[in-house]
Amino acid sequence: SFCTLLARVCPTRILLHRSMKHLGIFYHPGATAEDRKRATAWAAKASTEVEIVVESSPDKVLGLAEVERERLAFVIAKAGTAGQPPGVAVLASVMAGVGAHIFTILYSHTASPNASWRLDVADQGIHMVTHRDDEIAIAIRRCTSHPVLPERQQAADQHKYACPICGIQNLDAIALWEHMPMFHVAVKKTRRALKCPICNEYDSTIVVHIHDAHAPPGHPEDTSRRGIPLYSFGLVVVRRKSDGKFLVVQEYSSQGYWLPGGGIDAGELPDVAAKRECLEEAGVKVKLTGLLRVEVTPSG
């Protein structure tokens, strides 16, 4: 029975709060009362119907994920302090056993500031690396705003779409556009061209295609109404005085790390665009101290 199986997987907990719409798991090998308080705080900050269960055993994480796969929306794993983060293997196992629609977060004060480590983790399919509680709360809120289990969703109508990679359904065009880089930031190319659910075109770089071709109307990335083939871009070089490190952002479709920047809107001043893009992409407010370079590339 369900209760027997759940008791076997989680002997210290007989029943979960099944009135909650979504479930999340926080894996930490040395879980303490503080970790449970932290998980409760994440759920409270997310302001959504979610229960977060704290587990200290990989087997219990996988067992609970299988039992509760209908409600499971995300798994957070605490990383180690040296070498390959042990939490990565647990997260990868959940995605392999339950599905790619499970959002995975590596919680690590060591990996988070290390760009090389973050990129390695992303290449293994992990969606997010952070050590900030507010960022985790935002991620929880976003990944629980969409349906959880693909095969249990109602049939999508003409205004709803399914993700061509993980199968999550009932996404409108804007939700799909937001979902792709959030869940599939590390997907470079698929083995075969996938059909875009919006325009029915086939593309092996489907994440890039949806991002570039189907931005929400009026969004800075929307190119559908640009009548003049003139594009202006700005890049921001941000150097932190305390340690001399430069600010970079992880690009979608595993294109590595780049300087924050983006398109300059019509009528927008370059310095205003630079500060806006830096805030949008990196969440950092900057003070510009000068202009490094201007490039013009004529096009025929």
Question: Hey, what amino acid is at 133?
Answer: D
Phi, psi of 263 (to 5 degrees): -70, 145
> Which string of DSSP letters, residue by residue, matches 168-202?
---B-HHHHHHHHHHH-TT----SSPEEPTTT--E
Q: What is the pTM of this model?
A: 0.67
pLDDT score recorded for residue 64 = 92
Instruction: Write the CB contacts of 39 (distance below 8 Å, at least 6 apart in sequence).
Output: 24, 26, 52, 53, 54
120 within 8 A of 80, measured Cβ to Cβ: no
pLDDT tens series, the chain, 300 aa: 333 333 333 333 434 445 568 899 999 988 889 999 999 999 999 888 899 999 988 899 999 999 998 889 999 998 754 444 567 888 888 888 888 788 999 998 888 877 777 777 877 888 888 989 999 999 998 888 755 444 434 433 457 898 998 888 888 888 888 888 888 877 767 778 899 999 999 988 888 888 888 888 766 666 555 554 556 778 888 888 888 888 888 776 556 778 888 878 777 888 888 888 888 888 788 888 888 888 777 655
Residue entry with tokens 């798991």: 25
pLDDT score recorded for residue 19 = 55
What domains are defined for the chain? 2-143 (3.40.50.2300), 150-213 (3.30.160), 228-300 (3.90.79.10)
pLDDT score recorded for residue 224 = 57
Count Cβ atoms below 10 Å from residue 230 Cβ, excluding itself: 8
Residue 148 CA: distances (Å) to CA of 9, 99, 169: 22, 10, 9
pLDDT score recorded for residue 38 = 93
Residue 290 CA: distances (Å) to CA of 128, 260, 273: 33, 16, 14
pLDDT score recorded for residue 185 = 73
196 within 8 A of 202, measured Cβ to Cβ: yes
pLDDT score recorded for residue 3 = 33
